[in-house]
Amino acid sequence: MSAIPFDKLIVQEVAPRDGLQIEPTWVETADKIALIDALSTAGFTRIEAGSFVSPKAIPALRDGEAVFQQIARQPGVIYVALVPNLKGAERALASRADELNLVMSASQTHNRANMRMSCESSLAAFGDIVRQVKGSGVLLNASVATAFGCPFEGKIDEDRVIAIVDAYREVGIEGITLADTTGMANPRQVARIVTRVLARLPAAALTLHFHNTRGLGLANVLAAYEAGARRFDAALGGLGGCPFAPGASGNICTEDLVNLCDEMGIPTGIDLEKLLTLSRGLPALLGHDMPGQLAKAGRNRDLHPVPEYVLHI
């Protein structure tokens, strides 16, 4: 295992993008901006604020330009945009995104289903985007979707994941996200893959993206953290359900993750009380209950009143 460079666990908040993208309820642009602005003052250093995909493909996020143009950018916060192709990259650059996040699946079948092209075509498109972005000062990250398992193909060869990481770096992409797109990862597998990837790139360049589809999201975070990973995607309220598992939860929940860190003494720099206030506003915004648990249970320090009868025992 590589030496652990720092203790702090960096949370990249993805609710405004990955969280909202499959929501059936339209969220007004002003509400998206208000959410991002509130997150910007809660201690995050990275927020995935929107995407520049086809409005037909993801209508919930069709207002990417307006969002990026109107948010109140805080110094020290990196505002990330998901982009699927060169056209999306151009839109994101025009809207002053600080970082572009590209996506390809480790699984050929999943990449064809999600991106409607082969992995080879995706990698070629990455090269075009790198050339477009080079010299602009905008950061580049690329995600390996289905890195821990594919809902169509099942197991994904770990050597293939490593080869894709190498291919991303060779194309000229600095940041890598390993994404457990449909919540199939387990902690032993996570520790193995993270250890291999951190032999190739520094912890500051690696993000882990877990879904809690089968209840293992936070256990996978701890396994990755113990193996040296320091940056994790999470969504307020646990937003972002998986279309293949209705009723199972989506992204790991930011406030549940920050609570875990607070209780274990792992610094995050994030204000958990602010998060809870924001999370408790999501059901009114989206019209349904959230999978996150801390917003319902409260923190450990939120003590319950002692029943009256106890005083007489």
Please indicate whether residue 242 is annotated as part of the active site: yes
Interatomic CA distance for residues 200 and 283, integer angstroms: 42
Least Cβ distance, residue 74 to its own copies (angstroms): 28
Verify binding: residue 189, its own copies, rule CB under 8 A: yes
Q: Which is nearer to its own copies, 125 or 294 (CB)?
A: 294
**Which is catalytic among the residues 119, 150, 242, 253?**
242
Q: Which of 74, 63, 76 minimizes the C-alpha distance to 32?
A: 63
Q: Which is nearer to its own copies, 141 or 249 (CB)?
A: 249
Instruction: Name the segment binding its own copies (CB under 8 A); options: 10-18, 30-38, 84-92, 252-260.
Output: 252-260
Q: Which is nearer to its own copies, 94 or 297 (CB)?
A: 297
Looking at residue 304, the DSSP 8-state letter turns out to be P
Least Cβ distance, residue 265 to its own copies (angstroms): 7
Q: Which tokens hold the place of 101? A: 């996040």
Write down how long the chain is.
Answer: 313
Q: Which is nearer to its own copies, 72 or 264 (CB)?
A: 264
Least Cβ distance, residue 267 to its own copies (angstroms): 14
Residues 6 or more apart whose CB falls under 8 angstroms from that of 179 comprise 103, 143, 144, 145, 146, 147, 209, 233
Q: Which is nearer to its own copies, 170 or 289 (CB)?
A: 289
Interatomic CA distance for residues 162 and 193, integer angstroms: 8
Choice from 153, 158, 174, 271 touching its own copies (CB under 8 A): 153
Q: Which is nearer to its own copies, 113 or 139 (CB)?
A: 113
Least Cβ distance, residue 19 to its own copies (angstroms): 17
**At residue 82, what are phi and psi to the nearest 5 degrees?**
-80, 130
Verify binding: residue 265, its own copies, rule CB under 8 A: yes
| Interaction mask 211-230, its own copies, x per CB under 8 A | -xxxxxxxx--xx-------
Verify binding: residue 260, its own copies, rule CB under 8 A: yes
Cβ–Cβ under 8 Å, residues 171 and 104: no
Q: Which is nearer to its own copies, 153 or 158 (CB)?
A: 153
Verify binding: residue 300, its own copies, rule CB under 8 A: yes
Verify binding: residue 164, its own copies, rule CB under 8 A: no
**At residue 232, what are phi and psi to the nearest 5 degrees?**
-140, 135
**At residue 306, what are phi and psi to the nearest 5 degrees?**
-75, 130
CB-count burial class (<10 Å; 0-12, 13-18, 19+) for 156: buried
β-partners of residue 104 are 144
Judged by CB under 8 A, the chain residues 42 through 81 that form the site for its own copies are none
Q: Which tokens hold the place of 34? A: 């208000």
Count of chain residues binding its own copies (CB under 8 A): 59
The C-alpha angle with vertex 85 and arms to 81 and 87, in degrees rounded to 5, equals: 85
Interatomic CA distance for residues 268 and 259, integer angstroms: 10
Judged by CB under 8 A, the chain residues 84 through 123 that form the site for its own copies are 109, 112-113, 116-118
As a dihedral over the C-alpha atoms of residue 194, residue 200, residue 202, residue 207, rounded to 10 degrees, the angle is -40
Least Cβ distance, residue 117 to its own copies (angstroms): 7
The helix/strand/coil state of 63 is coil
Q: Which residues contact its own copies by CB under 8 A?
A: 109, 112-113, 116-118, 149, 151-155, 183-184, 186-189, 212-219, 222-223, 242, 244-249, 253, 256, 259-260, 263-265, 289, 292-294, 296-298, 300-301, 303-307, 309-310, 313
List residues with catalytic annotation. Answer: 242
